[in-house]
Amino acid sequence: MGDVTPLPGTALFRSTSTGSVPGTSSPSPGLILGVETSCDETAAAIVERGTTVRSSVVSSQVDLHVRYGGVVPEVASRAHVELLNPVVVSALEEAGLDRHAPAIDAVAATVGPGLIGSLLVGVSAAKAMALAWDVPFVGVNHLEAHLYASFLAAADLEFPMVVLLVSGGHTMLIVMHDHGSYGLLGQTVDDAAGEAFDKVARFLGLGYPGGPLIDKAAVDGDAAAIRFPRPMMDEGLVFSFSGLKTAVVRWVKEHPGCSSADVAASFQEAAVDVLVTKTRRALQQVGASSLCLAGGVAANSRLRARAAALADEVGVPVFLPPRDLCTDNAAMVAAAGWWRLQSDGPTPLDAGAVPSLAFPIR
Protein backbone atom coordinates (compact mmCIF):
# COMPACT_ATOMS: atom_id res chain seq x y z
CA MET A 1 0.00 0.00 0.00
CA GLY A 2 3.09 2.30 -0.02
CA ASP A 3 2.81 5.50 2.00
CA VAL A 4 -0.89 6.00 1.41
CA THR A 5 -3.12 5.49 4.43
CA PRO A 6 -5.05 2.35 3.59
CA LEU A 7 -8.57 3.70 3.90
CA PRO A 8 -11.03 1.45 2.13
CA GLY A 9 -12.24 4.24 -0.15
CA THR A 10 -8.82 5.38 -1.34
CA ALA A 11 -7.69 1.82 -1.91
CA LEU A 12 -10.62 1.24 -4.25
CA PHE A 13 -9.59 4.07 -6.55
CA ARG A 14 -5.88 3.36 -6.38
CA SER A 15 -6.26 -0.24 -7.36
CA THR A 16 -8.46 0.25 -10.38
CA SER A 17 -6.42 3.11 -11.82
CA THR A 18 -2.78 2.40 -11.06
CA GLY A 19 -2.30 -1.35 -11.00
CA SER A 20 0.71 -2.17 -13.16
CA VAL A 21 0.07 -4.35 -16.19
CA PRO A 22 2.79 -6.97 -16.63
CA GLY A 23 4.55 -6.66 -19.92
CA THR A 24 3.41 -3.13 -20.59
CA SER A 25 5.15 -1.24 -17.77
CA SER A 26 8.07 -2.21 -15.56
CA PRO A 27 9.54 -5.69 -15.98
CA SER A 28 7.95 -8.09 -13.55
CA PRO A 29 8.13 -11.80 -12.83
CA GLY A 30 4.61 -12.14 -14.25
CA LEU A 31 3.16 -14.04 -11.33
CA ILE A 32 -0.62 -14.40 -11.39
CA LEU A 33 -2.71 -15.74 -8.53
CA GLY A 34 -5.63 -17.67 -10.02
CA VAL A 35 -8.87 -18.42 -8.16
CA GLU A 36 -11.51 -20.91 -9.31
CA THR A 37 -14.87 -21.53 -7.59
CA SER A 38 -17.35 -21.86 -10.46
CA CYS A 39 -18.62 -25.35 -9.69
CA ASP A 40 -17.26 -28.38 -7.81
CA GLU A 41 -13.75 -27.26 -6.97
CA THR A 42 -12.25 -24.63 -4.72
CA ALA A 43 -8.85 -23.93 -6.23
CA ALA A 44 -5.97 -21.45 -6.19
CA ALA A 45 -2.71 -21.43 -8.12
CA ILE A 46 0.33 -19.33 -8.92
CA VAL A 47 1.41 -19.37 -12.56
CA GLU A 48 4.32 -17.50 -14.07
CA ARG A 49 3.71 -15.76 -17.41
CA GLY A 50 0.87 -18.08 -18.35
CA THR A 51 3.12 -21.09 -18.76
CA THR A 52 4.99 -22.17 -15.62
CA VAL A 53 2.95 -23.56 -12.73
CA ARG A 54 4.54 -22.50 -9.43
CA SER A 55 1.74 -24.03 -7.37
CA SER A 56 -1.73 -25.45 -7.97
CA VAL A 57 -3.98 -26.37 -5.09
CA VAL A 58 -7.38 -27.99 -5.63
CA SER A 59 -9.46 -28.79 -2.60
CA SER A 60 -11.71 -31.28 -4.29
CA GLN A 61 -15.26 -31.35 -3.08
CA VAL A 62 -15.91 -34.64 -4.81
CA ASP A 63 -16.16 -36.41 -1.46
CA LEU A 64 -19.20 -34.34 -0.59
CA HIS A 65 -20.75 -34.91 -4.01
CA VAL A 66 -20.29 -38.66 -4.00
CA ARG A 67 -23.00 -38.83 -1.38
CA TYR A 68 -25.48 -37.00 -3.58
CA GLY A 69 -24.48 -38.31 -6.98
CA GLY A 70 -23.89 -34.84 -8.36
CA VAL A 71 -23.06 -31.22 -7.76
CA VAL A 72 -24.91 -29.69 -4.88
CA PRO A 73 -25.10 -25.90 -5.11
CA GLU A 74 -25.92 -25.17 -1.50
CA VAL A 75 -23.16 -27.45 -0.27
CA ALA A 76 -20.84 -26.14 -2.96
CA SER A 77 -21.09 -22.42 -2.17
CA ARG A 78 -20.78 -22.93 1.58
CA ALA A 79 -17.79 -25.20 1.09
CA HIS A 80 -16.14 -22.63 -1.20
CA VAL A 81 -16.38 -20.05 1.60
CA GLU A 82 -14.81 -22.44 4.09
CA LEU A 83 -12.08 -23.72 1.80
CA LEU A 84 -10.99 -20.67 -0.15
CA ASN A 85 -8.70 -19.04 2.44
CA PRO A 86 -6.71 -22.18 3.30
CA VAL A 87 -6.45 -23.05 -0.40
CA VAL A 88 -5.11 -19.59 -1.30
CA VAL A 89 -2.61 -19.65 1.58
CA SER A 90 -1.36 -23.09 0.46
CA ALA A 91 -0.96 -21.89 -3.13
CA LEU A 92 1.03 -18.82 -2.00
CA GLU A 93 3.26 -20.77 0.38
CA GLU A 94 3.91 -23.61 -2.07
CA ALA A 95 5.05 -20.98 -4.56
CA GLY A 96 7.43 -19.56 -1.94
CA LEU A 97 5.51 -16.31 -1.54
CA ASP A 98 4.75 -14.29 1.58
CA ARG A 99 1.15 -15.04 2.50
CA HIS A 100 0.63 -11.53 3.88
CA ALA A 101 2.31 -9.53 1.10
CA PRO A 102 2.93 -11.80 -1.89
CA ALA A 103 4.94 -10.38 -4.79
CA ILE A 104 2.29 -11.12 -7.39
CA ASP A 105 1.27 -9.05 -10.42
CA ALA A 106 -2.46 -9.70 -10.55
CA VAL A 107 -5.29 -11.78 -9.14
CA ALA A 108 -7.42 -13.63 -11.69
CA ALA A 109 -10.73 -15.32 -10.95
CA THR A 110 -13.37 -17.20 -12.91
CA VAL A 111 -16.35 -14.86 -13.43
CA GLY A 112 -18.50 -17.33 -15.41
CA PRO A 113 -20.10 -19.49 -16.54
CA GLY A 114 -21.08 -21.29 -13.36
CA LEU A 115 -23.37 -21.23 -10.36
CA ILE A 116 -23.92 -17.67 -9.18
CA GLY A 117 -23.44 -18.41 -5.47
CA SER A 118 -20.22 -20.30 -6.08
CA LEU A 119 -18.83 -17.78 -8.57
CA LEU A 120 -19.42 -14.87 -6.19
CA VAL A 121 -17.27 -16.46 -3.48
CA GLY A 122 -14.20 -16.55 -5.71
CA VAL A 123 -14.82 -13.24 -7.48
CA SER A 124 -15.37 -11.33 -4.23
CA ALA A 125 -12.31 -12.86 -2.60
CA ALA A 126 -10.14 -12.14 -5.65
CA LYS A 127 -11.25 -8.51 -5.76
CA ALA A 128 -10.55 -8.12 -2.05
CA MET A 129 -7.05 -9.55 -2.44
CA ALA A 130 -6.39 -7.34 -5.48
CA LEU A 131 -7.40 -4.30 -3.43
CA ALA A 132 -5.39 -5.31 -0.38
CA TRP A 133 -2.24 -6.03 -2.36
CA ASP A 134 -2.78 -3.19 -4.84
CA VAL A 135 -2.58 -5.28 -8.00
CA PRO A 136 -5.05 -5.58 -10.88
CA PHE A 137 -8.03 -7.92 -10.82
CA VAL A 138 -8.67 -9.96 -13.97
CA GLY A 139 -11.99 -11.68 -14.67
CA VAL A 140 -11.58 -14.94 -16.56
CA ASN A 141 -14.01 -16.96 -18.68
CA HIS A 142 -14.00 -20.51 -17.34
CA LEU A 143 -14.37 -22.07 -20.81
CA GLU A 144 -11.46 -20.10 -22.25
CA ALA A 145 -9.41 -21.01 -19.18
CA HIS A 146 -9.78 -24.73 -19.98
CA LEU A 147 -7.80 -24.15 -23.20
CA TYR A 148 -4.95 -22.63 -21.23
CA ALA A 149 -4.49 -25.80 -19.22
CA SER A 150 -3.27 -27.34 -22.48
CA PHE A 151 -0.86 -24.46 -23.13
CA LEU A 152 0.92 -24.70 -19.79
CA ALA A 153 4.49 -25.81 -20.52
CA ALA A 154 3.83 -25.54 -24.27
CA ALA A 155 6.52 -23.37 -25.86
CA ASP A 156 5.07 -22.33 -29.20
CA LEU A 157 1.45 -22.49 -30.22
CA GLU A 158 0.70 -22.87 -33.91
CA PHE A 159 -2.37 -21.11 -35.28
CA PRO A 160 -4.96 -21.66 -36.57
CA MET A 161 -5.60 -24.31 -33.95
CA VAL A 162 -8.66 -26.54 -33.67
CA VAL A 163 -9.80 -26.99 -30.08
CA LEU A 164 -12.15 -29.77 -28.96
CA LEU A 165 -13.62 -28.55 -25.67
CA VAL A 166 -15.44 -31.41 -23.96
CA SER A 167 -16.85 -31.33 -20.43
CA GLY A 168 -19.99 -32.09 -18.46
CA GLY A 169 -21.63 -28.86 -19.51
CA HIS A 170 -20.13 -28.22 -22.96
CA THR A 171 -19.08 -29.91 -26.18
CA MET A 172 -17.63 -27.51 -28.74
CA LEU A 173 -15.26 -27.35 -31.66
CA ILE A 174 -13.49 -24.01 -31.72
CA VAL A 175 -10.96 -22.48 -34.09
CA MET A 176 -8.37 -20.39 -32.26
CA HIS A 177 -6.72 -17.78 -34.51
CA ASP A 178 -4.59 -16.23 -31.77
CA HIS A 179 -4.72 -15.58 -28.02
CA GLY A 180 -8.20 -14.20 -27.35
CA SER A 181 -9.39 -14.67 -30.94
CA TYR A 182 -11.81 -17.54 -31.50
CA GLY A 183 -14.50 -18.79 -33.84
CA LEU A 184 -17.14 -21.39 -33.03
CA LEU A 185 -17.17 -24.30 -35.50
CA GLY A 186 -19.86 -26.43 -33.90
CA GLN A 187 -21.37 -27.58 -30.63
CA THR A 188 -23.84 -30.03 -29.15
CA VAL A 189 -27.53 -29.63 -29.93
CA ASP A 190 -28.61 -31.43 -26.76
CA ASP A 191 -26.42 -33.16 -24.12
CA ALA A 192 -22.71 -32.54 -23.56
CA ALA A 193 -20.36 -35.49 -24.00
CA GLY A 194 -19.35 -35.46 -20.33
CA GLU A 195 -22.98 -35.49 -19.31
CA ALA A 196 -23.54 -38.66 -21.37
CA PHE A 197 -20.54 -40.29 -19.61
CA ASP A 198 -21.99 -39.26 -16.24
CA LYS A 199 -25.52 -40.46 -16.92
CA VAL A 200 -24.44 -43.76 -18.44
CA ALA A 201 -22.13 -44.38 -15.45
CA ARG A 202 -24.92 -43.66 -13.00
CA PHE A 203 -27.35 -45.83 -14.97
CA LEU A 204 -24.84 -48.72 -14.91
CA GLY A 205 -24.43 -48.20 -11.17
CA LEU A 206 -20.76 -47.30 -11.51
CA GLY A 207 -21.07 -44.13 -9.42
CA TYR A 208 -19.87 -40.53 -9.60
CA PRO A 209 -17.97 -38.86 -11.18
CA GLY A 210 -18.87 -40.91 -14.22
CA GLY A 211 -16.09 -40.06 -16.66
CA PRO A 212 -13.15 -41.76 -14.90
CA LEU A 213 -15.37 -44.70 -13.87
CA ILE A 214 -16.43 -45.42 -17.49
CA ASP A 215 -12.79 -45.11 -18.53
CA LYS A 216 -11.79 -47.62 -15.85
CA ALA A 217 -14.67 -50.06 -16.48
CA ALA A 218 -13.98 -49.95 -20.24
CA VAL A 219 -10.48 -51.34 -19.75
CA ASP A 220 -11.95 -54.77 -19.03
CA GLY A 221 -14.65 -54.52 -21.68
CA ASP A 222 -14.93 -55.24 -25.39
CA ALA A 223 -15.42 -51.96 -27.29
CA ALA A 224 -16.84 -53.90 -30.25
CA ALA A 225 -19.32 -55.92 -28.16
CA ILE A 226 -22.28 -53.62 -28.84
CA ARG A 227 -22.66 -51.39 -31.86
CA PHE A 228 -24.20 -48.24 -30.34
CA PRO A 229 -25.27 -45.47 -32.72
CA ARG A 230 -22.91 -42.66 -33.69
CA PRO A 231 -25.39 -39.74 -33.72
CA MET A 232 -25.06 -37.09 -36.43
CA MET A 233 -21.85 -38.67 -37.68
CA ASP A 234 -22.31 -37.28 -41.19
CA GLU A 235 -23.70 -33.92 -40.22
CA GLY A 236 -20.97 -31.30 -40.24
CA LEU A 237 -19.51 -30.22 -36.92
CA VAL A 238 -22.54 -30.41 -34.63
CA PHE A 239 -22.84 -33.02 -31.91
CA SER A 240 -25.72 -34.88 -30.30
CA PHE A 241 -25.25 -37.21 -27.34
CA SER A 242 -28.80 -37.52 -26.08
CA GLY A 243 -29.72 -40.31 -28.51
CA LEU A 244 -26.60 -42.29 -27.67
CA LYS A 245 -27.42 -42.11 -23.96
CA THR A 246 -30.99 -43.27 -24.67
CA ALA A 247 -29.72 -46.10 -26.87
CA VAL A 248 -27.47 -47.34 -24.05
CA VAL A 249 -30.31 -47.21 -21.53
CA ARG A 250 -32.62 -49.10 -23.87
CA TRP A 251 -30.04 -51.75 -24.74
CA VAL A 252 -29.22 -52.41 -21.08
CA LYS A 253 -32.93 -52.79 -20.24
CA GLU A 254 -33.34 -55.26 -23.06
CA HIS A 255 -30.28 -57.23 -21.96
CA PRO A 256 -30.50 -57.75 -18.20
CA GLY A 257 -27.36 -59.32 -16.81
CA CYS A 258 -25.17 -57.87 -19.57
CA SER A 259 -21.55 -56.99 -18.87
CA SER A 260 -21.17 -53.40 -17.58
CA ALA A 261 -17.59 -53.43 -18.82
CA ASP A 262 -18.72 -54.22 -22.38
CA VAL A 263 -21.42 -51.55 -22.23
CA ALA A 264 -18.95 -48.98 -20.86
CA ALA A 265 -16.33 -49.82 -23.48
CA SER A 266 -18.82 -49.84 -26.36
CA PHE A 267 -20.45 -46.60 -25.24
CA GLN A 268 -17.06 -44.93 -24.81
CA GLU A 269 -16.01 -46.10 -28.27
CA ALA A 270 -19.16 -44.65 -29.84
CA ALA A 271 -18.75 -41.30 -28.07
CA VAL A 272 -15.04 -41.04 -28.87
CA ASP A 273 -15.69 -42.09 -32.49
CA VAL A 274 -18.06 -39.16 -32.95
CA LEU A 275 -15.70 -36.68 -31.22
CA VAL A 276 -12.69 -37.78 -33.27
CA THR A 277 -14.56 -37.91 -36.60
CA LYS A 278 -15.86 -34.36 -36.16
CA THR A 279 -12.46 -33.15 -35.02
CA ARG A 280 -10.83 -34.63 -38.14
CA ARG A 281 -13.43 -32.82 -40.25
CA ALA A 282 -12.74 -29.55 -38.40
CA LEU A 283 -8.97 -29.87 -38.89
CA GLN A 284 -9.49 -30.34 -42.63
CA GLN A 285 -12.07 -27.57 -42.94
CA VAL A 286 -9.89 -25.03 -41.15
CA GLY A 287 -6.58 -26.22 -42.60
CA ALA A 288 -5.43 -26.21 -38.99
CA SER A 289 -1.79 -26.09 -37.91
CA SER A 290 -2.42 -27.76 -34.56
CA LEU A 291 -4.96 -29.58 -32.40
CA CYS A 292 -5.86 -29.06 -28.75
CA LEU A 293 -8.06 -31.02 -26.35
CA ALA A 294 -9.57 -29.27 -23.35
CA GLY A 295 -12.10 -29.90 -20.56
CA GLY A 296 -12.83 -32.77 -18.20
CA VAL A 297 -13.42 -35.38 -20.92
CA ALA A 298 -9.91 -34.61 -22.23
CA ALA A 299 -8.73 -36.80 -19.33
CA ASN A 300 -10.37 -39.85 -20.97
CA SER A 301 -7.59 -42.21 -22.00
CA ARG A 302 -9.33 -43.49 -25.15
CA LEU A 303 -10.01 -39.95 -26.40
CA ARG A 304 -6.41 -38.90 -25.71
CA ALA A 305 -5.04 -41.89 -27.61
CA ARG A 306 -7.37 -41.42 -30.57
CA ALA A 307 -6.72 -37.64 -30.70
CA ALA A 308 -2.96 -38.21 -30.65
CA ALA A 309 -3.30 -40.76 -33.47
CA LEU A 310 -5.46 -38.33 -35.44
CA ALA A 311 -2.94 -35.50 -35.07
CA ASP A 312 -0.22 -37.88 -36.17
CA GLU A 313 -2.23 -38.95 -39.21
CA VAL A 314 -2.99 -35.34 -40.22
CA GLY A 315 0.57 -34.27 -39.43
CA VAL A 316 -0.06 -31.54 -36.85
CA PRO A 317 1.11 -31.18 -33.25
CA VAL A 318 -1.43 -31.92 -30.51
CA PHE A 319 -1.73 -30.10 -27.19
CA LEU A 320 -3.14 -32.33 -24.46
CA PRO A 321 -3.78 -30.91 -21.01
CA PRO A 322 -2.01 -32.68 -18.13
CA ARG A 323 -4.55 -35.13 -16.69
CA ASP A 324 -4.74 -33.38 -13.32
CA LEU A 325 -5.52 -30.08 -15.06
CA CYS A 326 -8.37 -31.35 -17.29
CA THR A 327 -10.99 -30.92 -14.61
CA ASP A 328 -11.53 -27.58 -12.90
CA ASN A 329 -8.40 -26.01 -11.41
CA ALA A 330 -6.94 -22.56 -10.84
CA ALA A 331 -3.69 -22.94 -12.80
CA MET A 332 -5.68 -22.63 -16.02
CA VAL A 333 -7.42 -19.54 -14.61
CA ALA A 334 -4.10 -17.90 -13.71
CA ALA A 335 -2.70 -18.73 -17.17
CA ALA A 336 -5.73 -17.39 -19.03
CA GLY A 337 -5.68 -14.37 -16.69
CA TRP A 338 -2.12 -13.56 -17.72
CA TRP A 339 -3.05 -13.48 -21.42
CA ARG A 340 -6.27 -11.53 -20.81
CA LEU A 341 -4.27 -8.95 -18.84
CA GLN A 342 -1.95 -8.52 -21.83
CA SER A 343 -4.82 -8.07 -24.30
CA ASP A 344 -7.57 -6.35 -22.31
CA GLY A 345 -5.89 -4.92 -19.20
CA PRO A 346 -7.42 -5.12 -15.71
CA THR A 347 -11.11 -5.88 -15.23
CA PRO A 348 -13.04 -3.09 -13.46
CA LEU A 349 -13.84 -3.94 -9.86
CA ASP A 350 -17.53 -3.24 -10.40
CA ALA A 351 -17.79 -6.06 -12.95
CA GLY A 352 -19.78 -8.92 -11.49
CA ALA A 353 -20.07 -12.66 -11.93
CA VAL A 354 -21.90 -13.84 -15.06
CA PRO A 355 -23.55 -17.28 -14.56
CA SER A 356 -24.46 -17.74 -18.25
CA LEU A 357 -21.25 -16.32 -19.76
CA ALA A 358 -20.72 -17.70 -23.29
CA PHE A 359 -17.44 -18.69 -24.91
CA PRO A 360 -15.73 -15.42 -25.99
CA ILE A 361 -16.17 -15.74 -29.78
CA ARG A 362 -14.68 -12.88 -31.79
Partner 1 sequence: MARLIVPGDVVLLIGELGAGKTVFAQGFASGLGYEGQVTSPTFVLVQQYEGRLTMFHSDMYRLGSLSEVADLGLVEIGVEGVLVIEWGDFARPVVGSDFLEVVIDLDGEGRRMLAFTPVGESWERRATLLAQAVGS
Residues that bind partner 1 (CB under 8 A): 67-75, 77, 113, 115, 117, 167-169, 187-192, 194-195, 198-199, 203, 242, 245-246, 249-250, 253-254, 355-356
Nearer to partner 1, 137 or 267 (CB): 267
The residues, ordered by sequence, that sit 6+ positions from 314 with a Cβ below 8 Å of its Cβ are 280, 283, 284, 291
Looking at residue 322, the DSSP 8-state letter turns out to be: -
Least CB distance from residue 42 to partner 1, whole Å?
Answer: 17
Terminal Cα-to-Cα distance of the chain (whole angstroms): 37
Least CB distance from residue 129 to partner 1, whole Å?
Answer: 26
Which amino acid, residue 345? G
Nearer to partner 1, 242 or 289 (CB): 242
Q: Is 195 helix (H, G, I), strand (E, B) or coil?
A: helix
Nearer to partner 1, 249 or 316 (CB): 249
- Separation CA 291–CA 271 (nearest Å): 19
Least CB distance from residue 357 to partner 1, whole Å?
Answer: 11
Nearer to partner 1, 31 or 192 (CB): 192
Nearer to partner 1, 102 or 113 (CB): 113
What angle (nearest 5°) sits at the alpha carbon of residue 44, between those of residues 40 and 47? 130
Side by side, the strands of the sheet bearing 31-36 are: 52-59, 42-48, 31-36, 106-112, 137-141
Are the CB atoms for 133 and 18 separated by under 8 Å?
Answer: no
Looking at residue 37, the DSSP 8-state letter turns out to be: -
Instruction: Tell me the CB-side half-sphere exposure of residue 107, using CA atoms within 13 A.
Output: 29
Nearer to partner 1, 33 or 43 (CB): 43
Least CB distance from residue 187 to partner 1, whole Å?
Answer: 8
Least CB distance from residue 358 to partner 1, whole Å?
Answer: 11
Least CB distance from residue 299 to partner 1, whole Å?
Answer: 16
